[in-house]
């Protein structure tokens, strides 16, 4: 059977199921070709979103946890999480900032492991979230930022800086009262104003560190809640005055916040989140170029993940149509049935399942 993979999710040894063509329609790699690492690296340099791969019919059944969680990825993630938590506490509690500690986090090995294409997307959805939601959220945004930098073809330095901005974008929330951040139900106007100050708090915290010399990072942290139509905060900037980092982080922050469990809200289906993001793109709130690119790439990186359906069943995403931003997946249930959610409107994806939930 044919299965679609995001280019970042390709692995050497896979067999091409349909000709891979360039922007002019010329065949780059023919059907039936066995992919090599060199071929995959060549595709990463081109504006190609996904590739059809020929695979044997999948064996029906729940995969083991070992198939869902990558030990090397988990170990790297947990180490970076612990180091980031120490940096946050030192900066907020004592005004101390260690550039060397941040450099250790941003070591090339960690950077490559955590931002490894489709694997990164599946892992941050499949792992649990014990500990601080805020630190997990910042780390997720940093990982998504690394993916975006690669998808955009940015230089390694720009990718590196975007990751750092993502890692620190919500550190200012540590200066907002916990009872406000974790309040069940609607915030009062005064409480919402307190929350809205977090981007300024974060910017001000980092203004006393070596990061203050990098305006890309500083603007990204300050502006990640600005919106292109001027409806955001803290400065009500419009698109032309919002930095590229600010416009990208706005998208990544929204996605992870809605797709993750929070104290006051359960995680939503990524496809519901994509619909919300796309509506905000159409309404002129989010950047069109960055938003569409993010949705397309992340959507395809969800192939293979297990989901809970609204009818109570569990299923695995086996296909997504790469030609439509609002595409819904084809899901294979534990019974072996295939459900096309584009046609069956009575069933929806409720959420991506963690490995423990599968």
pLDDT per residue over 288-302, tens digit each? 999 999 998 888 788
CA-atom Rg of the chain in angstroms:
20
**What confidence tens digit (pLDDT) does each residue in 241-291 have?**
999 999 999 999 999 999 887 765 678 889 999 999 999 999 999 999 999
Which tokens belong to 48?
């190609």
- Which has more pLDDT, 216 or 2? 216
Q: What is the pLDDT of residue 64?
A: 40
Task: Confirm whether pTM is higher than 0.85.
Answer: no
What are the DSSP calls for 260-319, one per residue?
S-BTTB----HHHHHHHHHHHHHTTSS-HHHHHHHHHHHHHHTTT-EEEETTS-EEEEEE
- On whether the CB atoms of residues 220 and 169 are closer than 8 A, the answer is yes
- What stretch of H or E contains 338? strand 338-340
Reported as half-sphere exposure (CB side, CA atoms, 13 A), residue 32 has a value of 0
Measuring CA to CA, how many Å separate 131 from each of 35, 117, 136?
40, 25, 8
Q: Give pLDDT tens digits for 103-142.
A: 999 998 898 899 987 788 888 888 878 899 999 999 999 9
- Residue listed under structure tokens 């947990």: 78
Q: Which range (1-10, 22-31, 52-61, 200-209) has the least confidence? A: 52-61
């Amino acid at each position: 059977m044919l299965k679609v993979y995001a280019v970042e999710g390709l692995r050497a040894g896979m067999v091409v199921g349909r000709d891979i063509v360039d922007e002019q329609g010329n065949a780059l790699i023919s059907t039936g070709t066995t992919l090599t690492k060199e071929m995959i690296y060549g595709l990463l340099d081109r504006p190609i979103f996904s590739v059809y791969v020929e695979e044997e019919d999948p064996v029906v059944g729940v995969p083991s946890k070992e198939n869902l969680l990558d030990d090397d990825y988990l170990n790297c993630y947990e180490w970076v999480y612990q180091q980031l938590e120490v940096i946050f506490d030192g900066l907020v509690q004592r005004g101390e900032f260690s550039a060397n500690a941040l450099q250790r986090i941003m070591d090339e090995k960690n950077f490559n492991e955590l931002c490894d294409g489709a694997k990164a997307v599946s892992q941050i959805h499949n792992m649990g979230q014990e500990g601080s939601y805020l630190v997990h959220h910042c780390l997720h945004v940093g990982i998504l930022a690394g993916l975006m930098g690669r998808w955009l073809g940015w230089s390694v330095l720009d990718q590196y800086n975007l990751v750092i901005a993502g890692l620190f974008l919500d550190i200012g929330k540590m200066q907002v009262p916990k009872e406000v951040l974790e309040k069940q139900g609607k915030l009062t106007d005064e409480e919402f104003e307190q929350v809205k100050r977090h981007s300024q708090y974060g910017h001000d915290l980092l203004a006393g560190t070596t990061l203050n010399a990098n305006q890309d990072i500083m603007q990204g942290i300050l502006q990640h809640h600005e919106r292109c139509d001027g409806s955001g905060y803290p400065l009500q900037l419009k698109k032309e005055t919002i930095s590229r980092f600010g416009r990208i982080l706005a998208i990544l922050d929204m996605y992870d916040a809605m797709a993750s469990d929070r104290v006051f809200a359960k995680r939503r289906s990524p496809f519901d989140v994509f619909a919300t993001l796309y509506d905000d793109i159409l309404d002129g709130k989010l950047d069109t170029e960055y938003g569409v690119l993010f949705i397309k790439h992340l959507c395809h990186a969800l192939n293979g993940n297990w989901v809970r359906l609204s009818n109570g069943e569990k299923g695995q995403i086996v296909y997504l149509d790469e030609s439509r931003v609002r595409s819904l997946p084809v899901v294979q249930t534990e019974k072996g049935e295939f459900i096309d959610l584009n046609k069956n409107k009575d069933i929806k994806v409720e959420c991506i399942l963690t490995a423990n939930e599968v």
